[in-house]
Amino acid sequence: MSQVSHTLAQRLLDGDRRALARAITLVESDDPAGWELVREIYPHTGNAAIIGLTGAPGAGKSTLIGALTKLRRAADRDVAVLSIDPSSPFTHGALLGDRIRLTDHFLDPGVFIRSMANRGALGGLSEAALQTALLMDAAGKDDVFLETVGVGQAEVDIIDHADTIVLVLMPGSGDSIQALKAGIMEIPDIIVVNKADHPLTDTMVREIRGVLSLAPQRGWRVPIVKTEASRGVGVEELVAKLDEHRAYIEAEGTLSERRRRNLRSEVVGLCTFRLRRRLEEQLDSDDTFAGLLDEVVERRLDPATAASRILERLDAAAASREE
- Does the footprint of a second copy cover residue 90 (CB under 8 A)? yes
Give the one residue of 6, 18, 119, 206 binding a second copy; rule: CB under 8 A.
Answer: 119
Binding residues among 181-220 for a second copy as defined by CB under 8 A: 181-185, 211, 214-216
- Does the footprint of a second copy cover residue 56 (CB under 8 A)? yes
Q: How far is the CB of 268 from a second copy (least distance, A)?
A: 7
Nearer to a second copy, 209 or 274 (CB): 274
| Residues 6 or more apart in contact with residue 69 via CB below 8 angstroms | 79, 81, 102, 105, 111, 145
Q: Binding string, 12-51, against a second copy, x = CB under 8 A?
A: -----------------------x--xx--xxxxx-----
Rounded distance between C-alpha atoms, residue 163 and residue 246, angstroms:
8
Nearer to a second copy, 3 or 217 (CB): 217
- Does the footprint of a second copy cover residue 178 (CB under 8 A)? yes
For 231, phi then psi, to 5°, come to -110, 0
- Does the footprint of a second copy cover residue 149 (CB under 8 A)? yes
Give the one residue of 15, 17, 71, 86 binding a second copy; rule: CB under 8 A.
Answer: 86
105: left (phi over 0), alpha (psi -120 to 50) or beta: alpha
Nearer to a second copy, 109 or 199 (CB): 199
- Does the footprint of a second copy cover residue 88 (CB under 8 A)? yes
Binding residues among 234-273 for a second copy as defined by CB under 8 A: 256, 259-260, 263-264, 266-268, 270-272
Binding residues among 274-293 for a second copy as defined by CB under 8 A: 274-276, 279-280, 283, 292-293
Binding residues among 294-323 for a second copy as defined by CB under 8 A: 296-297, 299-307, 310-311, 314-316, 318-319, 321-323
Give the one residue of 104, 174, 202, 209 binding a second copy; rule: CB under 8 A.
Answer: 174
Q: How far is the CB of 277 from a second copy (least distance, A)?
A: 10
Nearer to a second copy, 158 or 292 (CB): 292
Nearer to a second copy, 20 or 27 (CB): 27
Q: How far is the CB of 238 from a second copy (least distance, A)?
A: 22
Q: How many residues line the site for a second copy (CB under 8 A)?
A: 84
